[in-house]
Structure 1
């Protein structure tokens, strides 16, 4: 007879919550639509809003992504991370294993994925952020569901308000300090605009690391607590049981939509009212205030998107239509990394070198074409294999034993 500890392993496909896989697939598309711009534009321009000179269809697409997509889908992924943690922790505990030990291994492996992603593909990685925030989630997992919700909202909106306060700080910083900081960013942006489209793999890799150190490293002090907060909100959602049999909990999802949508729209509208394109970006007080308001509105809008998708899923027609996304959601880590690989080969100098050549409409067309291919590949791949390649490696690192990759052939 097997002991409980030998029975622990990756969840079987038949035991998965397909609605979560569908939501991951939707989030994967949204994140890709947002990220693609920053494979073809200096990272130093983050916070500047719409690209300068965008006109016609490019301007319309850039505006739609900026207002409706940016910031909303990494939060959706974060909600799903928190939901998945609850399911995983329950399975680990039921098997008699240490939740802390297994989950710490899982986060260590995710951190390694993130560092490799930053170094070899793209500096805007979220995986290492999730790994750090995941450890904080693990520490707070014993909180009662209501406290998880309250602490989660406090972390997210507290850091958002802190970011908003930085807009006021910019008004009082000495002019010479601002000038020095602006000069450093301007020089880095110019170097990025030259190296990414023309440089070889070594030069581009060095530029990636430098961009991460200049832009994203210090940003972890804000984004890690915010991600932890969203994880806690996702944990609260899963503990409430509302994703199990969504058709039975439609009232809850309608209530969530009614509560989350108005502040999400109001905060986003306030950010847009301040402007959607700025010359000095992170050095302009109005730009920082606009970005902070958009960030504050991102979580309630993301919750609204989740509610709408779950409500659609709760109908048979919606399940059939949205179910197309579920296999891609099961391979989200593989596809996230593959999207960066494809974009690096399209836009960087060691690939096609199309940096700066495609407008936002063409970029979005590329996103839709690649994502459609990923959805199709997911359906085919998962007929023969249990996991995507990255998911397989991640599970191996998590559970300490190599999972079966291929499906057993069905008997005639």
Structure 2
């Protein structure tokens, strides 16, 4: 009995709707990530990427409805997973912190390997660091948990808004240092694009490592880490509240969350979009910073609205059966996420097909649909024979310090 309790959760004890949600979030994250394999990350402050006609329309729709929302959704799910893991450890009467630290360390190692050999847009390393902050909130219960999470999340876009407003009030001459920084960032992006487009594996790997720790990691520490921890806390509160235990009984709550989140997030999104969708970071940095802050503020309520709508559908028998097709991909989210980025690196970078800036947003959308459909089919076939995805199995083995059975 003790051996079972100290190992991974049994399949029958999983919360199926969380696996469905992970599969849904995985698709949204792929829709965003694919663009940043074809465009330097330094260009992110510029908003929607260049494109005419259908490419421009697809880019704008993904920017407005997907970008930032599914990263937040996946972060909420991470917090739910933490709370569930802690609850089950408490119920089993087994130590939790040591096990959780091993889990976070392994996630950090996955992230570092991912950064070094695949992609600088990795989120795993940031998640691993932010996950340590969750331990400080273990004694916190009730509304204080989501209030702390909201405060951590909102602080970042508010700083962006205040910065944009302050810069907008300065005379043009005072903006010269900021504009010089933006010129340097744009030049770095052009240089990075050339390496990713034409470089061999060693050149691209060197670029990834230097880019991540020279620029991306400091930005992630200041911005993404507190936002991620804030989302983790909100997700943990939602799981601990018991509202996922009986979706049918909680339809009123989720309907209110969908309407409230949709209205608040939609209003902030519209306000941000009114400032523009595409910016020249050098000449329009204050305006771009304002738009970015509004978009980030709107991402959380819209993500909660997406989550609530998904759960409302999952509370109905017919839609739940359809959404259940996403569950195996969600159960293998780590394997599928890393497989997506590995495939993208082989398609877009110079050591692969080298189509870094040659695939428009419409073609990228088709690529995502094709690959994700294949992943859904593969996930179903794999889990019909095995208990875990390959990387999920490795993660669990390192976390619990024993090899869980893999084959069914």
TM-score tier, shorter chain, comes to over 0.9
Deviation at 1:55, TM superposition (A): 1.0
Report the counterpart of residue 162 of structure 1 in structure 2: 159
User: Alpha-carbon deviations, 1:311-367, whole Å to 9, x = none?
Assistant: 111111111111110100000000000000000000001100011010000011101
Report the counterpart of residue 40 of structure 1 in structure 2: 38
Give the counterpart of 1:147 among 144, 148, 151. 144
Q: 1:223-302 to 2 correspondence within 5 Å?
A: 223-280=224-281, 284-302=285-303
Matches of 2:3 and 2:382, distance apart in 1 = 30
Matches of 1:298 and 1:282, distance apart in 2 = 26
Deviation at 1:139, TM superposition (A): 1.2
Report the counterpart of residue 410 of structure 1 in structure 2: none
Matches of 1:6 and 1:14, distance apart in 2 = 13
Deviation at 1:175, TM superposition (A): 4.1
Matches of 1:78 and 1:193, distance apart in 2 = 29
Report if aligned partners of 1:5, 1:97 keep a CA contact under 8 Å in 2.
Answer: no
Give the counterpart of 1:132 among 129, 144, 158. 129
Deviation at 1:182, TM superposition (A): 2.6
- Cα-Cα RMSD: 1.6
User: Alpha-carbon deviations, 1:268-325, whole Å to 9, x = none?
Assistant: 1111111000111797111111011000000100000001001111111111111110
Report if aligned partners of 1:36, 1:343 keep a CA contact under 8 Å in 2.
Answer: yes
Report the counterpart of residue 30 of structure 1 in structure 2: 28
Matches of 2:285 and 2:132, distance apart in 1 = 34
Deviation at 1:163, TM superposition (A): 2.1
Deviation at 1:211, TM superposition (A): 2.2
Report if aligned partners of 1:282, 1:288 keep a CA contact under 8 Å in 2.
Answer: no
Deviation at 1:170, TM superposition (A): 3.8
Give the counterpart of 1:18 among 16, 19, 23. 16
Unaligned runs of 5+ in 2: none
Report the counterpart of residue 80 of structure 2 in structure 1: 83
Deviation at 1:207, TM superposition (A): 1.1
Deviation at 1:56, TM superposition (A): 1.0
Deviation at 1:6, TM superposition (A): 6.4
Deviation at 1:7, TM superposition (A): 2.9
Report the counterpart of residue 196 of structure 1 in structure 2: 196
Instruction: Tell me the TM-score normalised to structure 1 length.
Output: 0.95
Report the counterpart of residue 47 of structure 2 in structure 1: 49
Report if aligned partners of 2:43, 2:186 keep a CA contact under 8 Å in 1.
Answer: no
Matches of 2:180 and 2:149, distance apart in 1 = 37
Length, aligned pairs only? 404
Q: Secondary structure at the match of 1:245?
A: coil
Matches of 1:300 and 1:282, distance apart in 2 = 31
Q: Secondary structure at the match of 2:47?
A: coil
Identify which range, 249-258 or 291-300, moves more after superposition: 249-258
Q: Secondary structure at the match of 1:11?
A: coil
Distance 1:196 1:156, change over 3 A: same
Report the counterpart of residue 185 of structure 1 in structure 2: 185
Report the counterpart of residue 393 of structure 1 in structure 2: 394
Report the counterpart of residue 91 of structure 2 in structure 1: 94
Deviation at 1:392, TM superposition (A): 0.8
Deviation at 1:45, TM superposition (A): 0.4
Unaligned runs of 5+ in 1: 408-412
Report if aligned partners of 2:179, 2:283 keep a CA contact under 8 Å in 1.
Answer: no
